Amino acid sequence: MAQVERHAYDVVVVGAGGAGLRAAIEAREQGMRTAVICKSLFGKAHTVMAEGGIAASMANVNPHDNWQVHFRDTMRGGKFLNQWRMAELHAREAPDRVWELETWGALFDRTKDGRISQRNFGGHEYPRLAHVGDRTGLELIRTLQQKIVSLQQEDHREHGDYEARLKVFQECTVTRVLKEDEGGGTEESAGRGRGGKVSGVFGYVRESGRFFVIEAPAVVLATGGIGKSFKVTSNSWEYTGDGHALALLAGAPLINMEFVQFHPTGMVWPPSVKGILVTESVRGDGGVLRNSEGKRFMFDYVPDVFKEKYAQSEDEGDRWYEDPDNNRRPPELLPRDEVARAINSEVKAGRGSPHGGVFLDVSTRLSAEVIRRKLPSMHHQFKELADVDITAEAMEVGPTCHYVMGGVDVDPDTAAATGVPGLFAAGEVAGGMHGSNRLGGNSLSDLLVFGRRAGLHAAEYTAGLGGARPAVVEWQVDAAAAEALRPFSAEAETVPDGVPENPYTLHQELQQTMNDLVGIIRRQGEMEEALTRLDALRVRARRAGVEGHRQFNPGWHLAIDLRNMLLVSECVARAALERTESRGGHTRDDHPAMDRRWRKLNLVCELSDPADAFGEVSVGRREMDPIRPDLLALFEKDELLKYLTDEELDR
Amino acid sequence: MSTYTAHFRVWRGDADGGGLRDYRVEVHDGEVVLDIIHRLQATQAGDLAVRWNCKAGKCGSCSAEVNGRPRLMCMTRMSVFGRDETITVTPMRTFPVVRDLVTDVSFNYDKAREVPSFVPPEGVAPGEYRMLQEDVERSQEFRKCIECFLCQDTCHVVRDHEENKKAFAGPRFLMRVAELDMHPLDAAEEQGLDRKRSAQDEHGLGYCNITKCCTEVCPEHIKITDNALIPLKERAVDRKYDPLVWLGDKIRRRT
Ligand SMILES: Cc1cc2nc3c(=O)[nH]c(=O)nc-3n(C[C@H](O)[C@H](O)[C@H](O)COP(=O)(O)OP(=O)(O)OC[C@H]3O[C@@H](n4cnc5c(N)ncnc54)[C@H](O)[C@@H]3O)c2cc1C
Ligand code: SF4
Ligand code: SF4
Ligand code: FES
């Protein structure tokens, strides 16, 4: 039997970003003994990098804002593919989730009358993003982290132990969700099929390399995204799609995996920082996009569905910043998918900047002092990393892989994963909320709204089980340990040329494949080629080998992560091949138009053979529930006609 | 685009000991020290341990000492060094080594727990908080902290004095006390908690002799000493010796 450390908790949260921490706070406040597990140090999750803000219709800056307008914007941004009930809950609850942060010590930027200030962002009709300069994610995560500390201080006063009811296991990686034995008692039958309840998680401690099991009836996945499967990305090493893969392996399906958001503005130079994000606030605060001819090209790229909502001339766009009630917004503030495609086209047409991007200029519109105050970390980032002073010169920017709309298929109200009792998912790892394209600022609010719901319902689920908790099955623990150790014995296995594969090389090849063949613009032949290459990489990944020992060994960690990245990449490629239309974050060169018949179809990815972690993924189609009539009534019929089929509208 | 080969010396080892190891490694235009460490991992030392996340100076993970100076590796451009200069990268000295460039920073998380949290004002509902920009700005400066712990690493009070660690919270967490103390709506005082005094009595403010070394290494350019520590000291002193405050304290305590 494998050597493993054992713990038992009521609720385990995998992930310590905004979604995970908010879930943990809720579960603990519901009286559950709660564990949080994260790969990095506490307080370093991806959420810390969010810049622009958090969307909530508090109406502090424009009194016309309310949840209905926010809901409308979200559905438009997602091209109506959103799980509408999630979009509704999100729009309704976001303001409360932001205000609650203030009671935990958050200090947002203020309006003149002392309320939380809100800024403009792409696709949002009114100024809606609560922010702190351009470091909103840091404020969010620090506030949640400090709230957790304050709950721990409470426990210390009561029990003499900070960790009596809420413990953070930092620098630990979960590699398997464990499930109860469903009766067969053998490897073939137990815990593999759909329906078996969650019994806990298996993972390793990064520092020591030792294994651990946490027994728990409820597991909340809050692991974030998948961007590390792409070469040019704004995401960090943590974004290897772990939660997506853990769900698949546990028998829970993923939806909408074809929708990957490429943020229009990443840095393009120098090469070592290519992909690092340039926040949308630069445009929200007045930055304009120009091509090598000095032209504001976005005016040529306003799609029909948005024609009435955006300025037709530079003058009108400029006036909007001062007088938004009588002018329309400039097209630089179109949803991200539109702007990213436009930049891509300009560069392809030979009108790009010297390093293959376009120019983003804020220096012509704002004074140096205002830029330094409103965009301090962008100013710093360009100065330090690219020798560019954004108060005086334009930035060079181009699209970068940023966010995945697809994720675990969940119940909108409870965040429960489909088909696996006890499994929940919230934040970027969950699918549905953003449809085919996420609006800026809607992620941070999503984390809080559904993080809280996941924590709440995980707690209720555990409480509802009473004493009848699913047991951890020993052979699953042994199998998980053997799987994790395989990279150390790769050399011993029979391989054709006798040498193990270097995990770093495999990773680079995977990133190149996804970037080139399943990137921002997609074609059938290229995606088929990608699937062939992924097949080959999967075979080679079984032989990924590492040197050294188990103590803090990044090569080993990467070898383990490859399984997840390959699974997730296969989902993206297969679903993208299947969807023969262009919508939001999915653009097909060979099917350039949006097709109303695809609007209500979700593509559902599952593992063909749940027992084979390096196996194939199958894609199925599923119809979405019709949108509730009172929500449909929030739109003009003319607008709905662009998205919904006639039959849907007649109903 | 130009490429050259640099000479790196990287500390390799663990809690039982270790030493500097020499590497020759390629450097391209525009790269930072962290890029070079990553290249070493990918090509020569697959198991070289290092922490990082954002690669943009936002998460505070990649702290280390480069040529003896505490720095974020992702924000240290190779162009600041000469091409034939040897670049030495070592783990933060103040914290115990785990492996290679990774140190055990739990000291900081322990200290964070010792600072009493924000106390919300009674009778002010969520959504009703009103604060002016100029009043939140002072605390906002301190909330820019990315918890890289470089200031903690550099402060001489604990750098070579293990024995001081118990009593001294370090600049980052003294600054946290100042941040809460300057928060316009923190209601600690109403609950009988004097944050200024606790900085002195509980968190070791007295050890700080305002050398400003912490401010110098802060990658967020927070004026830790001038804006957090000195004001905290001044007011701690005010409190201790100002007879009126002293009297007020006595009276309030009795009621
Ligand atoms: C540069 C940048 C800027 C952004 N700006 C904005 C913005 O302004 N507004 C906005 O709304 N959104 C923004 N986003 C998007 C938003 O930040 C993310 O979508 C969001 O933070 C994701 O939060 P999360 O809680 O789902 O996951 P994360 O914050 O990514 O946290 C994931 C957690 O899961 C842990 N984890 C992962 N795998 C495992 C495993 N196997 N075992 C244990 N733990 C694991 C990680 O360690 C981490 O703690 C931005 C994103 C980026 C990259
Ligand atoms: S100013 Fe004080 S806290 Fe900062 S380094 Fe000097 S002694 Fe340490
Ligand atoms: S105050 Fe500055 S140096 Fe200290 S931990 Fe924070 S960011 Fe780092
Ligand atoms: S990697 Fe985030 S600060 Fe360097």
Query: For residue range A23-33, what is the model confidence (pLDDT) as tens digits?
Result: 999 999 999 99
Backbone phi, psi, residue A243, to 5°? -65, -40
Q: How far is B252 from chain A (nearest CA, A)?
A: 24
Please tell me whether residues B174 and B116 are part of one structural domain: yes
Instruction: Find the mean pLDDT for residues A170-181.
Output: 95
pLDDT at A189: 44
Angle at A375 between CA A382 and CA A43, to 5 degrees: 85
Give tens-digit pLDDT for A454-492: 999 999 999 999 888 999 999 999 999 999 999 988 655
Mean pLDDT of A302-321: 90
Q: Are residues B122 and B192 in the same domain?
A: yes
- Give Cα separations from B199 to A3, A273, A329, B195, B227 (angstroms): 45, 41, 50, 6, 15
Query: Do B249 and B142 have their domain in common?
Result: yes
**pLDDT over 80 at A188, yes or no:** no
Q: Are residues B206 and B226 in the same domain?
A: yes
- How high is the pLDDT of residue A242? 97
Say whether pLDDT at B243 is over 90. Answer: no
pLDDT at B192 over 70: yes
For chain A, which domains are there? 261-401 (3.90.700.10), 491-598 (1.20.58.100)
Q: Give the pLDDT band (50/70/90) at residue A609.
A: confident
* B91 and B117 belong to one structural domain: no
Best to test chain A binding among B76, B117, B138, B185 (most A CBs inside 10 Å): B117
Residue A315, min C-alpha distance to chain B (Å): 32
CA angle A503, A508, A509 (to 5 degrees): 100
Q: Are residues B99 and B123 in the same domain?
A: no
The enclosing domain of B96 has a CATH number of 3.10.20.30
A427 with A18: CB under 8 angstroms?
yes
Instruction: Spot the catalytic one: A22, A336, A583, A588.
Output: A336
Contact B29 A271 (CB under 8 A): yes
* B166 & B146 share domain: yes
Confidence of residue B227 (pLDDT cuts 50, 70, 90): very high
Rounded to a whole number, what is the distance in angstroms from the first to the last CA of chain A?
A: 60
Confidence of residue A195 (pLDDT cuts 50, 70, 90): low
Are B157 and B227 in the same domain?
A: yes
Map B65-126 to HEC letters.
Answer: EECCEEEEHHHCEHHHCCCCCEEEEECCCCCCEEECCEECCHHHHHHHHHCCCCCCCCCCCC
Report how far residue A430's alpha carbon sits from residue A404's, in angstroms, rounded to the nearest whole number. Answer: 9
Whether A127 is in the pocket of ligand 1, judged by its Cβ within 6 Å, is: no
**Statement to judge: residues B134 and B218 lie in one domain:** yes
A139 CA → ligand 2 middle, Å = 25
Provide, as residue numbers in chain B, all residues whose Cβ is less than 8 Å from the Cβ of A210: none
Query: From ligand 4's centre to the CA of B63, what distance in Å?
Result: 8
Predicted pLDDT of residue B238? 62
Q: Which of B43, B69, B103 is the last residue of a domain?
A: B103
Q: Any residues with CB less than 8 A from the CB of A489 and at least 6 apart, and which?
A: none
Alpha carbon of A100: minimum distance to chain B alpha carbons (Å): 6
Chain A CB within 8 Å of residue B203 CB: no
- The C-alpha angle A627, A632, A637, rounded to 5 degrees, equals 130
Could you read off the pLDDT of A100-153 as tens digits, one per residue? 999 999 999 999 999 999 999 889 999 999 999 989 999 999 999 999 999 999
- In this predicted structure, the answer to whether residue A564 has a pLDDT above a threshold of 50 is yes
Confidence class for position B166, pLDDT limits 50, 70, 90: very high
Ligand 1 centre to CA of B90 (Å) is 29
* Position A305 confidence tier, pLDDT thresholds 50, 70, 90: confident
Domain boundary among B43, B70, B103: B103
Question: How sure is the predictor about B253, in pLDDT bands with cuts at 50, 70 and 90?
Answer: very low
**DSSP three-state, residue B230:** helix
Instruction: Please check whether residues B66 and B171 belong to one and the same domain.
Output: no
Q: Determine how many CB atoms are found less than 10 A away from the CB of residue A402.
A: 26
Domain count, chain B: 2
C-alpha radius of gyration, chain A, whole number = 24
Do B143 and B241 reside in the same domain of the chain?
yes
Residues A75 and A123: beta-carbon distance below 8 Å: no
Which pLDDT value is given to residue B239? Answer: 55
The CA–CA distances, whole Å, from A170 to A35, A37, A223, B93, B220 equal 10, 6, 13, 22, 24
Domain ends where: B81, B103, B125? B103
Digit-coded pLDDT (tens) for A364-382? 989 999 999 888 889 988 9
Can you list the alpha helix ranges (DSSP code H) found in A415-517? 442-465, 474-485, 503-517
Q: What is the CATH number of the domain that holds B156?
A: 1.10.1060.10
Which residues numbered 343-402 in A keep a CB inside 8 Å of some CB on B?
A: 377, 380-381, 384-386
Smallest CA–CA distance from B113 into chain A, residue: A149
| Cα separation, A285 vs A375, whole angstroms | 9
Give, for A245, the enclosing helix (H) or strand (E): helix A242-250
> Alpha-carbon distance A128 to A319, whole Å?
19
| Structural domain for B42, as ranges | 3-103
Of residues A254, A594, A633, the one with CA closest to residue A417:
A254
Inter-chain contact A547–B47, Cβ cutoff 8 Å? yes
CA A353 – CA B93 distance, rounded (Å): 44
C-beta neighbour count of B43 within 10 angstroms: 14
Are B125 and B226 contained in the same domain?
yes
Measuring from atom 3 of ligand 2, which residue has the nearest CA? Answer: B171
Using CA of residue A310, residue A642, residue A640, residue A406, what is the dihedral sign?
negative
